[in-house]
Structure 1
Amino acid sequence: MAALEPARSASRAHVAGTVPRDAWLCVTLLLTLGSLFGAALAAPPAGEGAGAALGGLLFLGSSVHVASSAWFGTVPEVRRFMAAHRGRYVAAPLALVGVMALLGAVVPAGPFALLLLAFFAWQFFHFQKQNLGLAALACAAYGAGPLRRGERLALTASGVLGILGLLCRPALLSLGGSVPRAAAVFPFAAGLFAVAVGYGAVQLLRRRPEERPWQVGALYGTALGFFLPVFLFDSPYAAVAGLTMAHGFQYLVMMGLVAGGGSAERIPRLISLAVLVNLALILGLLLNLASHLHGGGPAARALYGAYLGAVMAHFVGDAGLWRLRDAFPRAFLRERLPYLLR
C-alpha cells in the first residue's frame, strides 16, 4: 500500500492543477466571447448612449482594469524589480502623464484628435498583445509547446489589420468629424484581415493533433478573430465596446488569479484580493471621471490628457511585468500561477 502513495499524491497534484487551469480557460473564453457578442446585441440605436448595464460593464472593462495594475505596487518583490528598472516603471509613466497633461491643455481640439488616433492605435495593439500572451499561456498550460513563428505572425497581423480597419472609420472611435476618413482602404483591410485569419488557422492545423488540444485551439482562434466586429458593425458600441470589455475582463481575471495566488496562507491572499478590488474601484472611478473632461477648459483638458498618459503608462508597465521571456516576470507568475506556468 505504501508504494501506492506516490502515485496517489501525483494524481491529486495533477487534479489540483487541472481544475484551476480549466476554470481559467473557460472563464476567459466565456468573458471574451460573451463581451464580443453581448456588446453587439446590447448596442443602443445610432445616436443614443449606452444604458446603465452596458455603461457599467464598460467602466469595469476600461477604467477599472487599468487601475487594477496599481496593485503591483503593493507587492514588495515587484517594487524592488521596478526600482531596478526605473526607466520603464518610474520615468516613463511620469513623463507620459506630464506630457499628455500639457498637450491636453495647450493643443486645440482638432490637432489633438490626431493624437487620439495614435493613442487608440497603441491601445488596440496593446489589446492584441494581450491576446497573443494569453494564447502563449494556453500553449504552456496545456503542454502544447511555444507559439510558432507563423502563429505569432498571424495573430499580430490580424490585430494590425483590425486596427487599420478602425482607423479607416474614425466614427467608430467617436472621432468622425475630427480626422479624415480613409473609407476606400477599409475593404482592403477587411480582405487582408480574412487572409491573416485563414493563415493563422492553417498554421495551427500544421501542428500534430496532440500539439493542438482543443483548449489551445479555442483560445488561439478567439484571439485570431478578435477584431472581427470592426468589420461587421457600424455602431461604435457593437464594433468597439465588446473589444474593450473583453480585453478588460481578461485582464481582471488574470489580476485576480495573481493577487489571490501563491503559497501564502488563506488570510493574506484574501487581503491581497481586497486590496486589488479597492484600488481598482477607487482609482478606476477617478480615471473614469477624468476620461469625460475632454470638452472642458484648459484645466479640465489637462486632466483628460493626464488620464490618457496614465493609460499609456499602463501599456508600458504591463509590457514589462507580463513578459514571460524575462526572468523576474516568469518566476513571479510561476510562483503565483503554478497550474498555468509549469
Structure 2
Amino acid sequence: MTAPATVPAPPPVFRTLRRTWLAGTILLSLGAFAAAIALAPAAADGPGAALGALLFLGSSVHVASTAWFYTLPEIRAHARAHPGRYVIAPAALIAGTAAAAAVVPYKHLEWALLAYFAWQFFHFQKQNLGMAALAGVSQRSGSVARFERLGIVVAGVGGIAGLISHPELLQLGVDPRLRFLFPAALAVFAAGVGIGLYGLARRQARPPAFVAIYLISLLFFAPVFAFTSPYAAVAGLTIAHGYQYLLIVGLLAGAPRPGRRPGTGLTIMMTVGVLGGIALAQAAHLHGSPDVLGRALYGAYLGAVMAHFVIDAGLWRLRDEFPRRFLTAGIPYLIKP
C-alpha cells in the first residue's frame, strides 16, 4: 500500500507575509477612514496638505501603479494574446475621453461623470469582495459564501445609489433630482449589511482577521450615509481602496523574480506609481482649463482611471487560468488554502 504523499510545509516567511497583508489591510483601511473623517474640511473648502497627500497616494499613485504590470514579460505576453482588454480598450478609453472632454463643456460632461463614479465605486466594491475572499482562503476558513458575498454586493449597490442621489458628495454640480431615493438607498445598504451578518453568523470558522476584513468590506459605504461633508463621506473610501491596492500590489512586486535583485520590482513599482501619480494628479485639476489641450488632458486622466478598472478586472480574475497562475506564483501565501 502506497503511503499518502505529504504536503511540504510552507516556508516560515509565508506566515509573516500573510500576517503582514492581513494586519496591513485592516490597519490601512481603518486608518484611512479615521484620517479622512478627522481631516475633512468644511464643505466649501479644499483638503488640507495632510489629507491632500493621503488622497494623492490613495488615488493617483494607486491608479498609476497599474502600469507596473506592463514591466513584466509575462504580462506583456498575456496582453499581446488578449489585446482587446489590455491594449485596445485602455487606449480607446484614454483617447475617447480626451476627445470628449476637449469638445464637451464641463457643465455637460458632469452628467456623464455620474456614470463614471458609479463604475468607480462598483470597482471599489469588487475589490472589497476580493479582499474578503483572500482573507478567508489565506486563513483556511474558506472563501466568502453565498450570503456573505450577496451582502457585500447589496451593501455596495446601496452605497453607490446613495452617492448618485446626492451628487454633491461627489463634488458634482448637477442635480439628477434623485434625492428622494436616498432613504431607499440607505435601506438597501442596511439590507445588505443584514444579509452579510447573517452569512457571517452561518460560517463555521471565523478567524478574527477574516471577520475584521469582511466587516470592513461589508460596511465600506457607511460614511456615505453618516456624513454630509464630501471629504468625510467619500475620501475615506478612496484612500482605503487605494491603500489596500498598493499593499497587495507592493507584495506582488516585492516577490522574488529570476534575474532580478531583491527589491528591484518594488522599486520599479513605486517609481512608476509616484511619477505616473504626479502626472495624473496634475491632469485631474484641468477640467476648468480654458485651453483645449488642458481639457483633453483632464479627459485622458478620466480614461486612464477607467483603463485601470478594465485592466484590473482581468488581471485579478482568479477563475481565469493566467491570473490564477500569475498570482499564485507571486503571492502564494494568499492564494493557496
- TMscore range, shorter length: over 0.9
What residue in structure 2 maps to residue 144 of structure 1? Answer: 141
**1:263–1:275: structure 2 CA closer, same or farther, 3 Å change rule?**
closer
1: CA distance, partners of 2:139 / 2:177? 43
Alpha-carbon offset, residue 189 of structure 1:
0.8
In the alignment, structure 1 residue 273 sits paired with structure 2 residue 269: no
CA distance 1:77–1:171, shift in 2 (3 Å): same
Give, in whole Å, the separation in 2 of the partners of 1:280 and 1:76.
19
Q: Which secondary structure state, in structure 1, belongs to the residue aligned with residue 262 of structure 2?
A: helix
**Match runs of 1:199-214 below 5 Å:** 199-208=195-204, 210=205, 212-214=206-208
Partners in 2 of 1:181 and 1:250 — Cα distance? 34
CA distance in 1, matches of 2:247, 2:323: 17
TM-score, scaled to structure 1:
0.93
- Trace 1:74-153 onto structure 2 (pairs within 5 A): 74-153=71-150
Aligned to 2:250: 256
Correspondence for 2:232? 238
Instruction: Answer whether contact 1:158 1:225 (CA < 8 A) is retained.
Output: yes
Aligned match of 1:286 in 279, 282, 296? 279
| DSSP 3-state at the match of 1:268 | coil
CA RMSD of aligned residues (A): 1.6
SS at match of 1:339: helix
Q: Per-residue deviation at 1:338?
A: 1.6
Higher mean C-alpha displacement, 131-140 vs 37-46: 37-46
Q: Which residue in 2 is equivalent to 1:55?
A: 52
Structure 2 SS opposite 1:70:
helix
Contact 2:101 2:295 in 1 (8 A): yes
Query: Is the CA contact 1:230–1:240 (under 8 Å) kept in the aligned structure 2?
Result: yes
- Residue 198 of structure 1: CA displacement? 1.1
SS in 2 for 1:269: coil
How far apart are residue 108 of structure 1 and its match? 2.0
Q: Find the aligned partners of 2:39 and 2:177 in 1 and give their Cα distance.
A: 26
Gaps of 5+ in 2: 1-5
Contact 1:20 1:339 in 2 (8 A): yes
Query: Separation in 1 of the partners of 2:190 and 2:176?
Result: 25
Q: Deviations over 1:283-339 (max 9, x none)?
A: 111111110000013221111111100110000000000111111111111111121
What is the aligned partner in structure 1 of residue 185 from structure 2?
189
C-alpha distance in 2 between matches for 1:89 and 1:215: 34
Normalised TM-score (structure 2): 0.94
Separation of aligned partners in 1, 2:195 and 2:139: 23
Question: Is 1:316 aligned to 2:316, yes or no?
Answer: no
Match of 1:3 in 2: none
Q: Which runs of 5+ in 1 are unaligned?
A: 1-5
The answer as to whether partners of 2:93 and 2:306 remain within 8 angstroms in 1 is yes
Deviation string, structure 1 residues 126-167 (Cα, Å, up to 9, x no partner):
000001011111111011222222221111111111010001
Q: Check if 1:45 corresponds to 2:42.
A: yes
Q: Using the alignment, how far apart are the partners of 1:26 and 1:173 within structure 2?
A: 30
1:227 corresponds, among 210, 221, 224, to 221
Q: Distance in 2 between matches of 1:192 and 1:69?
A: 32
Distance in structure 1 (CA, Å) of the matches to 2:278 and 2:229: 26
Matched residues in 2 for 1:32 and 1:89: separation? 29
- Paired-residue identity, %: 53
Alpha-carbon distance in structure 2 between the residues aligned to 1:325 and 1:305 = 33
